[in-house]
Amino acid sequence: MRIIDFFRKINNAIFVLLAFNILIFAITLYWLKNNLENNLIKYTIDFYIETSKNISSRMKKYIEYEQFEAMKIILQQEYDNQNIIYLAVFNKQGANLIYFSRYPQLVDYVSKKDFISLLGKTQKYYIDDYNLNIENGEKISKLLIVITPIEKTIISDIQDKILIGYLLIVFDLTRLDNQLKTIGFYSSLVLALLSLFSIIVSIFMIIQFYKPIEYLRNLAVELSKSKFNIQRRVFWFKEFNYLVDSFIRMAQALEQQLTLLESIASLDALTKLYNRGAFEKFYNAIALESKMKIALGLNKTFAVVMLDIDNFKKINDTYGHKVGDMVLSKVAEIIKTRKRNTDIAARYGGEEFIIILNVSNKIDALKFCLDLKNIISKTEFILDDGTKLSVSASFGVAFYPEDSKDKDALVKIADDNLYNSKRKGKNRVSVILYGKLVDLEDFKQIETLKVKDFAEG
């Protein structure tokens, strides 16, 4: 009798242990299911919010300079390559500048919701149920609306931001809805079929669900940091593979668009040097850095060089603008070959160029300018009909902090010195030395420069 009771107790213990394992497995599976659903929702929304921030940060230059056609091209690429079904840009007063919509009904939907009245200085998002039948019997059932302010940063002693517009994007969350239903289906199926193997199923769930979500979350972090060197992983559930493929394609598209954007926003289309806007950004940063170092007792100097192609209007009038563009491009190529990596060169406007030289004294700046002047004047520009054309350039140099500690005043001094070179006969370099404005045509004049030469008169 005692033996029977013992085996009964063993059986009861096994049953209790098995039931306990099944209960633990069911609770674990339920927790994983809810955790995965919540993480997937959060991850998807976070990713689309980061996408909206990324797009809005790249639109500020276009709105600021009213380059709406270029902005339309970039937004069209974003619209075509991502899961966006409605995209619109508004100015700071709420007036619509550009919009794209895959379905006409969405235009009325956005208008009736009056999202414009909700615009503010902080990003907002809304999830809304929607019922729209599209082709092949498919339909859109859920939307994510993200409204992001577009701000530009003013670089000064104290950085500040100015609101210049808004970006409104509507993402289709129908696939996410279906994926959540798929996760629920698989979870229930696994619970029904594998309840007797709770430990194995638990491990299976960790491998097949938890790790893919963690991978996708890590992928989102990398994308938000604009890191696109991503190793693709293959998972058992195809839904996860669809998500991975979608995000990788999105990352590749973003990388291409960032490269294109940097080229459009920073480079002059003709000369491929920095444009004036990019120069101002670099110049503000360099001037601020120099001011801070001097305040700390450190030495920080640089020179601003302005050069202008002599008689450029005559070249355009005589040979045409095509030849003028060829001259500008060739001079820009010469500048790029002579400047160092630490120098900043830009097309300042028309036939005028500006260079920030990282030099410690005016003599080094003069040597650079004379060398560049000589190369330009010795270069032959051969036209289509075989005509050989020669050009020259005039230079003006200003030195920080000797000539001025004010960045705007420094550019004006360089421009005034350039005007002096033009007035004195062109094809020369003008600079203030020892308190006196002088112009030089060749290197021999540098060797004869003495303090006493400028102390008199």
What is the strand order of the sheet 139-154 is part of? 96-101, 84-91, 160-172, 139-154, 124-133
> Is the Cβ–Cβ distance between 216 and 240 less than 8 Å?
yes
> Is the Cβ–Cβ distance between 142 and 128 less than 8 Å?
yes
Annotation marks residue 351 as catalytic: yes
- Distances in Å between the alpha carbon of 85 and those of 112, 119, 250? 17, 20, 15
Q: Is the dihedral of CA 103, 105, 111, 115 positive or negative?
A: negative
Q: Is the dihedral of CA 175, 180, 185, 189 positive or negative?
A: positive
What does the block give as tokens for 456?
Answer: 């008199």
The radius of gyration computed from the CA coordinates of the chain, to the nearest angstrom, equals 33
- Residue 196 DSSP label: G
Q: Which residue has the tokens 């809810």?
A: 34
Counting other chains too, the contacts that 33-39 makes at CB distance below 8 Å and 24 or more residues apart are 33/183, 33/184, 33/187, 35/210, 36/183, 36/209, 36/210, 36/213, 37/180, 37/183, 37/184, 39/213, 39/217
* Helix, strand, coil percentages for the chain (3-state, nearest 5): 60, 20, 20
The DSSP element (H or E) to which 393 belongs, if any, is: strand 393-400
What does the block give as tokens for 256?
Answer: 């291409």
SS3 349: strand
What does the block give as tokens for 232?
Answer: 């693709």
Q: How many CB atoms lie within 10 A of CB 294?
A: 15
CA–CA separation, 290 and 241 (whole Å): 51
Q: Which of 50, 333, 351, 352 is catalytic?
A: 351
Positions annotated as catalytic residues are 351
